[in-house]
Amino acid sequence: MTKVRAIAVATLLALPAAQAADIEAGKAKVAAVCGACHGVAGVSVGETIPNLAAQRAGYIEAQLKVLKDGTRKNPVMNAIASQLTADEISNVAAYFASLPGAGAAAKSDFMPQLTKTGVTFPEGYDKSFVKYHTINFPATKQVRYYFANKAAVDAARAGKDLPNGAYLFAEVWSAKLDEAKNPVKGADGFFVADKQLFYTAMARDAGWGKDIPDMLKNEDWNYAVFTLDKKHRPNVNQAECLACHKPLDKVSYTFTLKELAAAK
Ligand code: HEC
Ligand code: HEC
């Protein structure tokens, strides 16, 4: 064996030890972030989120890699996985794999810092906010109307980041259906609204982001869903809102900033 090859072989043999996963570091990451949805002990908070306790480490790593590079698509997990390093991926995989599995009925609680929100119902928004946009949602047969307060509209028009005090609000309505159960369109091309279902909201103010883990934090934005009687809808996990809006950090975490800037 030549000297060069001997060194190469020695390096190869040394690799697995150098890459051994750090279960404690994985546990800390899960406690800080992943636990918001998958539960700190790998038992998830709800039906649409997989349990990861006792899952095989190799499978978890493989899924996180394809979620990170985007070949497996899920807006929430793409945003999360893109922020994980290769080491963090092996660490969290090793941690989840080390946990005992749970029965199908078991559920974890939401993280309290992600159920707390600074956003309150914007009384009188129909008079004081600007209605700046409408979107049809054919899949859910809904139409949404978007409103923004003056602080948000002024900043967007001036091409500035949305400041503290900015408030974006949406009314969610079911569409009126024809006999074939398809949404009826008005002359403007938008679905004709039938019944209002709920409201969604995002707003920011000083310090509102301070208890939110970095991988989820949208600066000082908080989120809320309101029922028709203007109360906070129970069981809203802000982790989902934050994760999906997180990649929009260059546009004030707002999907409709262009439309807002063009508001009349
Ligand atoms: C905001 C909620 C949320 C957070 C926070 C979150 N996840 Fe997820 N995760 C999901 C959802 C929802 C899915 C299911 C995705 C799908 O349907 O494709 C998922 C799927 C996964 C999967 C694939 C599981 C499978 O069976 O294929 C892995 C692995 C995973 N998450 C790991 C993590 C790790 C590690 C973290 C923390 C760094 C994390 N997740 C944080 C919501 C979340
Ligand atoms: C799966 C990704 C995803 C999740 C999760 C999500 N949003 Fe959004 N959000 C969007 C998209 C895309 C838009 C653009 C228009 C639309 O779909 O309504 C949007 C728009 C909004 C708007 C209008 C302002 C803007 O950004 O354009 C508000 C307010 C809002 N979302 C609140 C919420 C709240 C509250 C939650 C959590 C309960 C949430 N969102 C969860 C993707 C998401």
Closest alpha carbon to 32 in 84, 71, 70: 84
Give the pLDDT of the chain (264 residues) as one tens digit per residue: 455 555 555 455 544 444 689 999 999 999 999 999 999 999 999 999 999 999 999 999 999 999 999 999 999 999 999 999 999 999 999 999 999 999 888 999 999 999 999 999 999 999 999 999 999 999 999 999 999 999 999 999 999 999 999 999 999 999 999 999 999 999 999 999 999 999 999 999 999 999 999 999 999 999 999 999 999 999 999 999 999 999 999 999 999 999 999 998
My answer on whether 129 and 247 are in the same domain is yes
Q: Which of 244, 250, 253, 260 should be mutated for ligand 2, with most atoms under 8 A from CB?
A: 244
Q: Which domain holds residue 145?
A: 125-261
Q: Is 49 helix (H, G, I), strand (E, B) or coil?
A: coil
Distance in Å, CA 30 to ligand 2 centroid: 25
Are 52 and 42 spatial neighbours (Cβ–Cβ below 8 Å)? Answer: yes
pLDDT confidence of residue 16: 47
Q: Is 94 in the pocket of ligand 1 (CB under 6 A)?
A: no
DSSP conformation class of 32: I
Helix or strand run (H / E) with residue 146: strand 142-148
Q: Is 144 in the pocket of ligand 2 (CB under 6 A)?
A: yes
Of the residues 109, 133, 151, the one at which a domain ends = 109
Are 64 and 89 spatial neighbours (Cβ–Cβ below 8 Å)? Answer: yes
My answer on whether 73 and 173 are in the same domain is no
Number of domains in the chain: 2
pLDDT confidence of residue 103: 87
Q: Is 36 in the pocket of ligand 1 (CB under 6 A)?
A: yes
Among all chains, which residue has been given the structure tokens 């998830």?
44
My answer on whether 130 and 247 are in the same domain is yes
My answer on whether 225 and 129 are in the same domain is yes
Tell me which ligand sits closest to the C-alpha of residue 213. Answer: 1
Domain of residue 242, CATH code: 3.50.70.20
pTM for this model (two decimals):
0.91
**How many of the other CB atoms lie within 10 Å of CB of 70?**
11
CA distance 49 to 53: 12
Domain of residue 61, CATH code: 1.10.760.10
Q: Is 255 in the pocket of ligand 2 (CB under 6 A)?
A: yes
pLDDT confidence of residue 20: 87
My answer on whether 130 and 91 are in the same domain is no
The total number of residues shown for the chain amounts to: 264
Residue located nearest, by CA, to atom 18 of ligand 1: 74
Q: Is 60 in the pocket of ligand 1 (CB under 6 A)?
A: yes
117 assigned to some structural domain: no
Q: What angle in degrees, to the nearest 10, is found between the helix axes of 86-98 and 57-69? A: 140
115 assigned to some structural domain: no
My answer on whether 171 and 230 are in the same domain is yes
Residue located nearest, by CA, to atom 40 of ligand 1: 34
My answer on whether 159 and 98 are in the same domain is no
77: left (phi over 0), alpha (psi -120 to 50) or beta: alpha
120 assigned to some structural domain: no
Q: Is 251 in the pocket of ligand 2 (CB under 6 A)?
A: no
17 assigned to some structural domain: yes
